[in-house]
């Protein structure tokens, strides 16, 4: 599936202000500084569509991008950035949970995990919350170009082992690098396949 037209539809500070739920939606979320904006730009093949910042925690609202007028890519705020004011983090948490729990056209959440770091409690807690609430999700490992093949295999094995303490099996995984365009086609094919089975509104 090629993306011909990718449009930024706006940033929405509250769930209630989001666009009308008419198209299938795919949400991208992860810890701050996981490389989410870079991956979104890679998926959309638009270099500056999502703003890439060196300072983590810059996404502070729900950002909607419309793809070929047929589906939405939704950029959710990152979780767990310690230097962000506690009150603001609570607002983000409420915004994220309301969207994930209440959005009727959400098809899947892509949970981004930095492949370069050891298993993180925040990732595990968030993934377990998704499972407890029966929200469909897949795992998306980022920045894999920074590792050797053996390092990547070792890091992913550690992350999987950590998650499997709570899960009998893990959902589908994607291995990605925005720098080298790794994993983009796999994600697009996955979304395309899901779109084919989404009931008409």
SS3 at position 138? strand
pLDDT computed for residue 139 by the predictor: 98
pLDDT tens for 153-193 read 999 999 999 999 999 999 999 999 999 999 999 999 999 99
Domain 6-196 has CATH 3.40.920.10: no
Polymer length in residues for the chain: 201
SS3 at position 140? strand
| Total-model pTM | 0.91
DSSP 23-92: S-EEEEEEBTTSSHHHHHHHHHT-TTSSPP-SSTT---SEEEEEETTTEEEEEPPPB--TTS-HHHHHHH
Rg of the Cα atoms in the chain: 16
Give the Cα separation of 98 and 90 in Å (integer).
12
Half-sphere exposure of 199 (CA within 13 A, CB side): 3
Q: What angle do CA 83, 84, 90 make, to 5 degrees?
A: 135
pLDDT tens for 71-114 read 999 999 888 654 544 554 455 588 899 999 999 999 999 999 99
Instruction: Name which of 34, 27, 65, 62 is nearest 48 in CA terms.
Output: 65
Average pLDDT, whole number, for the chain? 89
pLDDT tens for 103-149 read 999 999 999 999 999 999 999 999 999 999 999 999 999 999 999 99
């Amino acid at each position: 599936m090629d993306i011909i037209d990718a449009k930024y539809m706006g940033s929405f500070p509250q769930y209630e202000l989001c666009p009308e739920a008419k198209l299938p939606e795919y949400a991208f979320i992860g810890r701050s500084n996981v490389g989410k904006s870079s991956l979104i730009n890679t998926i959309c093949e638009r270099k500056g569509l999502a703003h890439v910042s060196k300072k983590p925690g810059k996404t502070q609202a729900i950002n909607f991008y419309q793809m070929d007028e047929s589906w939405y890519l939704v950029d959710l705020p990152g979780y767990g950035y310690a230097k962000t004011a506690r009150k603001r983090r609570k607002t983000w948490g409420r915004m994220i949970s309301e969207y994930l729990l209440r959005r009727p056209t959400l098809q899947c959440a892509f949970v981004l995990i930095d492949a370069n770091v050891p298993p993180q409690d925040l990732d595990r807690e968030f993934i377990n919350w998704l499972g407890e609430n029966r929200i469909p999700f897949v795992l998306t490992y980022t920045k894999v170009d920074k590792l050797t093949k053996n390092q990547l295999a070792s890091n992913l094995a550690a992350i999987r082992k950590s998650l499997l303490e709570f899960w009998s099996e893990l959902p589908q995984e994607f291995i990605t690098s925005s720098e080298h365009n790794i994993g983009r086609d796999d994600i697009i094919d996955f979304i395309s396949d899901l779109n084919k089975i989404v009931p008409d509104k």
